[in-house]
Amino acid sequence: MAKQQNPRRVEPGDLRSQRWFAPDDLRSFGHRSRLRQMGYSAEEAEGRPVIAILNSWSDLSQCHTHFPQRVQEVKRGVWQAGGFPVEIPVLALSEMFMKPTAMFYRNLLALEVEEMLRCHPVDGAVLMGGCDKTVPGLLMGAITANLPAIFMPAGPMLAGRWRDQRLGSGTDVWKYWSQRQAGCLDACVWRQLEEGIARSAGTCMTMGTASTLAAIAEALGMTLPGAATIPAVHAAHSRMAAACGRRIVEMVWEDLRPAQILSAAAFDNAIVADMALAGSTNAIIHLLALAGRAGVPLSLDRFDALSRTTPVIGNLRPAGEFLMEDFHDAGGVPALLAQLSHRIDRSCLTVTGQTLGENIAEAEVIDDRVIMPVDQPLSHSGGTFVLRGNLAPHGCVIKPT
């Protein structure tokens, strides 16, 4: 889908939030008076795009511990662009702490997001999330609500460290646990590993579910360019948060909605990115759900077809060698997609109001050990295989790497 040359500009009187605040009636009097109750003047709130900041923070959401600061930075961007920011807390799905699995609550989060956007006087939304099931839950709800929305990834944590070893959270622990069980690591060393494997706020810094879904969100066109890989504690992450706030206000004026972005071609782009990164098999479950919300037909056959023709060029753990910090410094998702430019649809519209091709036009690979050349890949076919047989007549997936 190409960029619109003369996008329609929404008039202030046509803002969705004006249904609550503009009429000269008793109900709107009540709405306006409650804004005054909260300390907002008419000049601050009325006639501006109202931006919902959906914040999936909690004290038990380890991926999102930096969100109290980030939400203030998003608000700063909204104010700068002439909007009116309102923070709305939503479910914090901590993959680490929720038992038996956060997957039980993904659809509940999607429902909550949809209803929070539907029932409140808001014109657009910034979706703040990163932990595994949070990303699809936020996006699913936003797709169904179909208000202008932009996703702000939580960002990966810093690389782990123990002695002279770089540690990957969520992957290297299995190796060291085997050594611990074999009696090769004492309690002191085990404690050192605990303290070194996850050293900052952010998602797991390997190409696990969280990193895969952040990259997919960017390939779909739902994030700012380069947003998926910025480390959570990097100063650039603060700047990106403010940029999300500024951009969502413009998206409201442009009336740019998920339905205009999430085409069948956009989902193909996301699958290509997933396969090129040897991403988590969980991504398939979530992409199918996202496509269903967007009304885009998608099946395992499409994953199979694109996997067979997409080389793995992201040399990232657990399939490869490097971590998310390295991926970001090497050029991130824009550089990866630029390497795959003949395998993706560059005409797809994105939240920037530009096409994917325009977003990645200046991207370059800084380190080809991390983002490998297409003709010298980690693997010549994608990171997920689709299998069928008597044990799985409807299909199953497996990672060969």
pLDDT averaged per 10 residues in sequence order, the chain, 401 residues: 59 96 96 96 90 98 98 99 98 94 96 99 99 98 99 98 92 91 96 96 98 99 99 99 99 98 99 98 98 98 97 97 98 99 98 99 98 97 92 93 77
Give pLDDT, residue 7.
Answer: 60
Give pLDDT, residue 44.
Answer: 87
Q: In the chain, where are the structural domains located? A: 12-159+199-398
Q: Which run of H or of E encompasses 68?
A: helix 67-80
Give pLDDT, residue 2.
Answer: 46
Give pLDDT, residue 45.
Answer: 83
Buried b (16+ CB within 10 A) or exposed e, 334-358: bbbbbbbeebbbbebbbbbeebbbb
Give pLDDT, residue 171.
Answer: 82
For the record, the structure tokens of 342 come out as 């003949």
Give pLDDT, residue 6.
Answer: 44
241, 152 Cβ separation under 8 angstroms = yes
Give pLDDT, residue 172.
Answer: 87
- Between the alpha carbon of residue 380 and those of residues 80, 240, 280, 311, 377, the distances in Å are 47, 34, 18, 4, 6
Give pLDDT, residue 3.
Answer: 46
Amino acid (1-letter code) at residue 332:
G
Give pLDDT, residue 55.
Answer: 98
